[in-house]
Structure 1
Amino acid sequence: MSLPKTQKAAVKVGQGDASKVEVKEIPVPSPNSDQILVKINYSGLCASDKSLLHDEWSSTGLTQLPVTQGIAGHEGAGTVVAIGSDVQDLWSLGDRAGIKWIASVCRKCEFCTNGRDECHCPKQLNSGFSIAGTFQEYVLTDARYATRLPEGVKDEEAGPIMCGGVTAYVACKRSAVRPGQWLVLPGAGGGLGHLAVQYAKAMGMRVIAIDGGDAKRDLCLKLGAEKFIDFTKTKDIPAEVTKITTYGAHGVVVTAATKAGYEMAPHLLRPGGTMVCVGLPKDASVIAGAPPIMMCLKRLNVVGSVVGTLKDVEECLDFTARGLVHPILTHGGLEDINRFCDDMNAGKLPGRAVIKIAAS
């Protein structure tokens, strides 16, 4: 397969709030023996991409590394166009592949070998953070950790599932909410939240969506939420949740990366309920939890959740292949990333932004 020498990429320029991306021409890389080269058709734009591009987490030490060349993105879907010498038994030219936040793991440590925790591999490589990401036309990735995309899932939907989808899905599982029980989703109309509504519904949970405005209400109810609470109109949200559920919700997944969201979440739970932390605020002073007396008397659980395993991603894609979960997409190109980041900051980005990367 003949490949070009150069490609277009969205490259970070500047620092902090003033940083932006510029579309530049850079070389097309060649795969090492254990890598594949994927021509990216679509890449989702995650809130984590915005945070890395704008150095929002610099106080925690999470900053994009120089080796990325300033190229973010970790929700890629495309076609295999070159294969390393050691992995030609795994992939064929023309296969469809997905690239995730976790691009590679060591496959040797305790977390990789216990069958459930490879997301915590200390030697993992992360797309757009420790290696160049998917905001470029051609991306190198570990052939043994790339995701094979199934029939019935379009690239434009598969991209956002690589992070947004699996993050929402695993968070629903981490909530320990059983079919028929109540799950509350603050920020339910956002990029992660609208996916969590769909996964929770498909998993048999009863969903209470929290967000603001008629458009978010209509979206959440359309996607399967049983109840909607408008935070701009409801003075006492915990009381409203208790009114709906009698004793409080069995679980709450906090996708909104706000101090208010994290402070409210424990008050929405019944005794024995579980709060799942997902949204990552740029304010390092935000704490997840509750006063010890509430934690003890209500026997609350507070857990964190981060993306998902290779198997989790396969399960997520199957929900879409079966027609149960579909990202609500706002389309654009590499030149729209700055605008989408601004819209995300303003809370004006419907659903999930997806970037058309390579020309057809």
Structure 2
Amino acid sequence: MASDGSLPDSMRAQFLDDFNTPYALRTVPVPTLGSPYEILIKVDAASYCHTDAVLAAGQMKPNPPNLPHIGCHEFAGTIVALPKDSTSNFKIGDRVGVPGRSFSPCGTCFECEAGPTPEDPDADPPGYSVYCSGALNNGISRPGGFREYAVVDSRQLSPIPDGLSAVDTAVLMCAGVTIYNALKRCALQPGQRVGIVGCGGGLGHLGLQFATKMGFKVLGVDNADAPLQVARNIETGARIVDSRVQSADDVAIEVGTEDGKQDRGDMGLDSVVILPESQKAFDYGIGLLRNHGRCVLVSFPERGFHVSARDIVFRDISIVGSLVGSNKTSREVLQFAAEHGVRAVLKTFPLARLNDLVAEYHKGEGGKLVIDMSLPD
């Protein structure tokens, strides 16, 4: 194994010992490398995601496959060791962003063999896919980023552009990639209208920034004071709507009138992205769409959503899902964020205060929460 020569024997890591319990900070050995695809990084920042909360509550079974578990599937770090037979173009000292998917994919399933197509030009080349069902996922089905050192798959990494910090990057490796890919799945052209329901949350406020920089006419929706304030404070130029005081029907008519539309069915948004797990949020988003509009679902509530067949049949509303994005998309996201100044509104905590971070998350005040490894305890 080639390294920078300064690797310690042990590291600190935060463990989930059981569901619905606080994390426990312990000292454990630094992990070692296995396959030629693996790389050891020193974790510089690890971001907390809604999925971390769902996983910790025991709502993603069979994941994690066993306890104790180290969470976090969006993090960033610096490469400190490579296997002697490394297949990677990365080198020691490179700064990289790490997503959850895909660690050690099979390389032979239909997902891995697919490659880019006219319908999916952003897919990864044959032999690797973030959608491989046999792959492991950092922080979900294998140890993640809430630790000082982590073994990752070189094929899943994205180089960090100049101008982006590790903290800035960590939040983009799931939240950023997810909302960016969802916006691409809206299949819009600059000047068309898109809505983001849940616009003040971790994904939503990044989505406002991405969408406006993509040239869309953007409408953000939320229903709580703190997230609405986050959405307004970033001053993207998007219209921000409080769904507690304005109905989807009224908003659709307003934007339709602005666009010079005469028929009610032609009034509203061309596409909408649904981020909350609330049926009310889903219904509101569908209500914003013009006939023939597209709804892109990112959330996956345990009980699902009730969908009106009338909207699908009589209004020709299409509904598609969006999970994450390919490695190609992840790299594109970081470059886009660096070039256009897309940054998360965030609060940082040291590794030892992960439980304080979790308590802050449950306040629901919007933005992103990140472990910054450079902070003192």
TM-score w.r.t. the length of structure 1 is 0.91
Deviations along 1:287-336, one digit per CA (max 9) or x if unpaired, are 26x32122111111100001110010111001122133111111112233
Partner of 1:37: 40
Determine whether 1:278 maps to 2:304.
Answer: no
The answer to whether structure 1 residue 49 and structure 2 residue 52 are counterparts is: yes
2:274 is the counterpart of 1:254 = yes
Superposed displacement of residue 344, structure 1:
2.7
1:321-340 pair list within 5 angstroms? 321-340=338-357
Q: 2:289 matched to 1:287?
A: no
Provide the residue aligned with 1:21 in structure 2.
23
Identity in percent: 30
Q: Judge conservation of contact 1:13–1:19 (CA < 8 Å) in 2.
A: yes
Displacement of 1:89: 5.2
Q: Distance in 2 between matches of 1:273 and 1:88?
A: 45
Partner residue in 2 for 1:160: 171
The secondary structure found in structure 1 opposite 2:340 is coil
Residue 261 of structure 2: aligned partner: none
C-alpha deviation, 1:93, in angstroms: 1.3
Whether the 8 Å CA contact 1:174–1:276 is kept in 2: the answer is: yes
Equivalent residue, structure 1, for 2:10:
6
Label 1:218 to 1:333 Cα distance change in 2 as closer, same or farther (>3 A): same
Gapped regions of structure 1 (runs ≥ 5): none
Query: In the aligned structure 2, how far is the partner of 1:177 from the partner of 1:243?
Result: 20
SS at match of 2:202: coil
CA 1:359–1:220 in structure 2 vs 1: closer, same or farther (change >3 Å)?
closer
Go from structure 1 to structure 2 and tell me whether the alpha carbon gap of 1:64 and 1:225 turns closer, same or farther (over 3 Å shift): farther
Match for residue 101 of structure 2? Answer: 102
Distance 1:341 1:265, change over 3 A: same
Structure 1 position 260, deviation (Å): 1.7
Map Cα deviations across residues 180-201 of structure 1 (whole Å, 9 max, x no partner): 1111111101101001111111
RMSD: 2.0
**Partner in structure 2 of residue 123 of structure 1:** 134
Distance in 1 (CA, whole Å) between partners of 2:6 and 2:341 is: 38
SS at match of 1:318: helix
Name the residue aligned to 2:120. Answer: none
Q: How does 1:1-360 map onto structure 2 within 5 Å?
A: 1-15=5-19, 18-34=20-36, 35-57=38-60, 61-66=61-66, 69-87=68-86, 90-104=89-103, 105-113=105-113, 114-115=115-116, 116=123, 118-212=129-223, 215-221=226-232, 222-234=234-246, 236-246=247-257, 247-281=267-301, 284-287=302-305, 290-348=307-365, 350-357=366-373
Alignment-mate amino acid for residue 238 of structure 1: D
Given that residues 40 and 78 in structure 1 are in contact (C-alpha distance below 8 angstroms), is that contact kept between their aligned partners in structure 2?
Answer: yes
3-state SS in 1 of match to 2:244: coil
- The answer to which of 224-233 and 270-279 deviates more is 224-233
Using the TM superposition, name which of 18-27 and 237-246 deviates more: 237-246
SS in 1 for 2:130: helix
**Post-superposition offset of 1:215:** 5.0
TM-score for both structures, normalised by structure 2? 0.87
